[in-house]
Amino acid sequence: MVMSLSAHELSIGHGRTPIATDIDLALEPGEILCLLGPNGCGKTTLFKTLLGLLPALGGVISLDGQPLSRLSRAAIARAIAYVPQQHAPPFPYSVHEVVLMGRTARLSTFAQPGERDHAAATEALAEVGMAAFAEADYSRLSGGQRQLVLIARALAQQSPYLVLDEPTASLDFGNQARVLASVRELAARAGSDGRGIIFSTHDPAQAFALEAQVLLMSEGRLMARGRPQDCLTAERLEAVYGLPVQVERTASGAWVCSPWFAAGSISS
């Protein structure tokens, strides 16, 4: 059975102060939704609200037709897994132990992980190409390797949806490519194995690379929603980020988005 995730006329913020309003979104397993916008526009706040960590200030979030506000924390965790921007463990856990933490949502209170949980952690590491690092010290991994482990931890939850908060931030070119490849593969899997993924980034070209639907946020509202080709125009990106932008398609078919550095085009 396919579980839908949606938000209608959603208002988000902290306390009683709204950051963004009138947000509509809909996602099903197998789809990717890419969230873009400048710092402070509410991307992380939206994620925390979708995860039930912050209350909605207005509107409704629904999981398979059920209001999120009526679901338990465990029920939400079984439906939506979260991958943060970065993670610093308080103890030198092994990679397998970090991934095994993703099984908490599947365990009863005070229960210990069993054979099935360890198998799920092992399978999740294999899915992201990190099986060989299972016994390694997680704190000694590179930034890209840690991000793949965090994705594996989310996969171990066996939730139909993944929320990834700028997972390529601070990663080098190669590790960015590895994380994006994992995201695309996870969504593209056939049938019920495909995950619905909400992914935030500061690089518009990643939305094109992932063939994702786009939510472009700025100034407390949605500026655009739809295909990258329709939403991420040079004019709209210039309005959102405040500088001239080029959006071009190369001869190979890849899309490139970059600031326009013509003389005098960027004021100090």
Are 40 and 152 part of one and the same domain?
yes
Are 247 and 137 part of one and the same domain?
no
| Helices within 162-201 (DSSP H only) | 173-188
pLDDT at 56 over 90: yes
Residue type, 64: D
Residue type, 83: V
Are 198 and 249 part of one and the same domain?
no
Are 152 and 247 part of one and the same domain?
no
pLDDT (tens digit, 9 = 90+) per residue, 88-102?
777 889 999 999 999
What residue numbers bound the domain in which 165 lies?
Answer: 5-232
Cβ contacts of 141 within 8 Å, gap of 6 or more = 95, 133, 149
pLDDT at 264 over 80: no
Contact 117, 103 (CB under 8 A): yes
pLDDT of residue 163: 94
Are 139 and 250 part of one and the same domain?
no
Question: Other CB atoms closer than 10 Å to residue 34's CB: what's the count?
Answer: 27
Residue type, 9: E
Residue 72 CB-half CA count within 13 A:
5
Range in 78-82, 83-87, 122-126, 208-212 the model is least confident about: 83-87
CATH number of residue 56's parent domain: 3.40.50.300
Instruction: Give the pLDDT mean for 107-126.
Output: 88
Contact 231, 224 (CB under 8 A): yes
Task: Please name the residue that has the structure tokens 């080098």.
Answer: 172
pTM: 0.86
Rounded to the nearest 10°, the torsion over CA 179, 220, 49, 66 is: -110
Are 244 and 204 part of one and the same domain?
no
Are 22 and 119 part of one and the same domain?
yes
Instruction: Give the pLDDT mean for 247-255.
Output: 91
Residue type, 57: L
Domain count, the chain: 2
Are 201 and 243 part of one and the same domain?
no
pLDDT of residue 96: 96
Residue 189's pLDDT band (cuts 50, 70, 90): confident
Residue type, 142: S
Query: Using CA atoms, how far apart are residues 12 and 37, in angstroms rounded to an integer?
Result: 15
Strands laid side by side in the 17-27 sheet: 17-27, 5-14, 58-63, 66-67
Taking the CA atoms of the chain, what radius of gyration do you get in angstroms? Answer: 19
pLDDT (tens digit, 9 = 90+) per residue, 3-41?
789 999 999 998 888 999 999 999 988 999 999 999 989
Q: Which residue has the higher pLDDT, 263 or 248?
A: 248
Are 247 and 225 part of one and the same domain?
no
Are 52 and 19 part of one and the same domain?
yes
Rounded to the nearest 10°, the torsion over CA 175, 178, 183, 189 is: -170
Are 218 and 237 part of one and the same domain?
no
User: What are 122's two structure tokens?
Assistant: 């092992």
pLDDT at 1 over 50: no
Report residue 230 CA to chain centroid gap.
21
Are 257 and 211 part of one and the same domain?
no
pLDDT of residue 2: 58
